[in-house]
Amino acid sequence: MTETPRPTDSHLHDVLQQIANEAQDLFGRGEVANYIPALAEVPARRFGMALAMVDGSSYTVGDAHTPFSLQSITKLFTFVLALKAVGEDLWTRVGREPSGAAFNSMVQLESERGIPRNPFINAGALVVTDILTSRYAHMDLAMLGALRRLTDDPALTWNVRIAKSERDTAHRNMALAYFMKSYGNFHNPPELVLDNYCRQCATEMTCTQLAQATMFLANGGVDLAKGSQPGEHVLSADAARRVNALMLTCGAYDASGDFAYRIGLPIKTGVGGGIVAIAPGRGTISVWSPELDAKGNSVLGAFALERLVQLTGWNHD
């Protein structure tokens, strides 16, 4: 049997349209996140996808220019900020192992004496936010400033209504914070950290912006030049590789192994329905569709990424 040739970059518009057409059949197989009331109001039947290539080209389909709530995808950016701020000392307070448990689970914290398994589960992300709260007088604004530079959008911000809705229902996250504080792994008042954390998670981007904001992870730690501005050295090439490794093993909650098996790219998911994936040396992929599976990952987003690597072979590069 003759193997179907992989598409060249010039055919990526067609690839995205094919994926978008196939994804329509999956609507109704998941549910929009409802434990945060403001997120429950997002229309379910939405799908957008964007590719940003290291050569500066980009491709989009569907609702790729519609802003959505990043939620846990912001954990990637705060993790990078903390890594830059405190370096290897970060690993004295949070681990680098897959959790195998739900993103908001408390089960492992007691047996592991308040040290979260990784920075991408809620407990780990709260510790990262605590580190940044100690580092910056206004941690939420520091993170927003970094994201505005990466997206080249000075108007980028968080959704105040979603942040309040999330803060009003953050009982389990508050319990996680106080539990870790009892073990000495939380330095600031949990209330202050939760305020920062909920604003962080309520940050909104489009698929095109998210693909652009993560370009440094596909490009050896260097962001692409924007107009007359040279590319920013966000991380060293080695640090970018390590971040990608952690995304591959821990980026999709307790479904990370399944995502690694099916897709084979570093990814980070969020309960707002977004997923960002990194194809090192080639580009970034962002997809958004709000209907989630039982583990909190976008149903259509996971399908779209799996089809993309099948059609392009990018996970073999």
Mark whether 59 is an active-site residue. no
Mark whether 271 is an active-site residue. yes
Mark whether 128 is an active-site residue. no
Cβ burial of 154 (10 Å; 0-12, 13-18, 19+) is: exposed
Q: What is the DSSP letter of 229?
A: B
Q: Residue 212 is inside which H or E element, if any?
A: helix 207-213
Q: Which of 69, 72, 165, 298 is catalytic?
A: 72
**Residue 107 marked in a binding site:** no
Q: Residue 258 is inside which H or E element, if any?
A: helix 256-262
Q: Which of 271, 276, 287, 309 is catalytic?
A: 271
Q: Which of 197, 243, 256, 287 is catalytic?
A: 197
Residue 160's region, left for phi above 0, alpha for psi from -120 to 50, else beta, is alpha
Residue 278's region, left for phi above 0, alpha for psi from -120 to 50, else beta, is beta
Tokens standing for residue 108: 């492992």
Residues 101 and 95: their CA atoms lie apart, in Å, by: 14
Q: Which of 32, 59, 61, 75 is catalytic?
A: 75
**Residue 166 marked in a binding site:** yes
Q: Which of 253, 256, 287, 309 is catalytic?
A: 253
**Residue 173 marked in a binding site:** yes
Mark whether 136 is an active-site residue. no
**Residue 271 marked in a binding site:** yes
**Residue 197 marked in a binding site:** yes
**Residue 253 marked in a binding site:** yes
Residue set of the binding site: 72, 122, 166, 173, 197, 253, 271
Residue set of the binding site for substrate: 72, 122, 166, 173, 197, 253, 271
List, by residue number, the catalytic residues. 72, 75, 197, 253, 271
